[in-house]
Amino acid sequence: MARGDLQTYLDYVRPHYEAKDVAHDYAHIMRICLRLDDLATGLAVHDRPLLHFLACWHGLADRIVGGSWFADATRAFLTEDAWVDDDIDTAFVALVRHSSSPVTVEERVVHDASAIELMGAFGIAAAFTQGGAEGRSYEETMVAHERFLERTEFKTPRGQELSLGGREFARRFLAQLRAEL
């Protein structure tokens, strides 16, 4: 196996997504992985193994924080994949940081790969699916999704470009839905 092999990482994390919520299930991770190359267009990705780690463990950060059997198992897995302890520590910090405050190119790419999913028609469907699962009303879900649309900043040039159409579609759709309620 080559260090940072995406398929190997996907195979490792797949069982850990079985009990995840609909917003962070394995299908979401697969969609993130499919967007990586497009969102990295024009950027210098220096650490492809880190990029693949962040994408595959994106929905599992809560299980890494504070140490746990899963954090230990992940550390052992990465060590077998020729990662050194300092790089693993850096990856764990990046995993926690990438969703809200991405710093490196790799973090910004995975941030945008996840966030872009919530723009447009798919994003609306996901918001209402999650809202229903959490017992929120249509109105509460709309307000939460509108806040997300307004506050989400895309960190890559390609992410900024892709978000425009989806964000505008979502705004128009939610305005129409609000008028009908």
80-137 pLDDT, tens per residue? 999 999 999 999 999 999 999 999 999 999 999 999 988 889 999 989 998 998 999 9
- Give just the sign of the alpha carbon dihedral 145, 149, 153, 155: positive
Question: What's the mean pLDDT in 19-35?
Answer: 87
Q: Can you list the positions of beta strands (E) in 46-125?
A: none
Over 80: is that where the pLDDT of 67 sits? no
Q: Provide the 8-state DSSP code for 102.
A: -
pLDDT of residue 65: 85
**Distance in angstroms (rounded) separating the CA atoms of residues 148 and 38:** 23
What is the average pLDDT value for the chain, to the nearest integer?
93
CA distance 95 to 97: 6
pLDDT at 4: 84
pLDDT digits (tens, 9 = 90+) for 147-167: 999 999 999 999 999 999 999
Rounded Cα distance, 7 and 13, in Å: 10
Provide the pLDDT confidence category of residue 1 given band limits of 50, 70 and 90.
Answer: low
**Res. 142 pLDDT band, cuts 50 70 90:** very high
Which pLDDT value is given to residue 128? Answer: 94
d(CA 170, CA 117): 12
Global model pTM greater than 0.85: yes
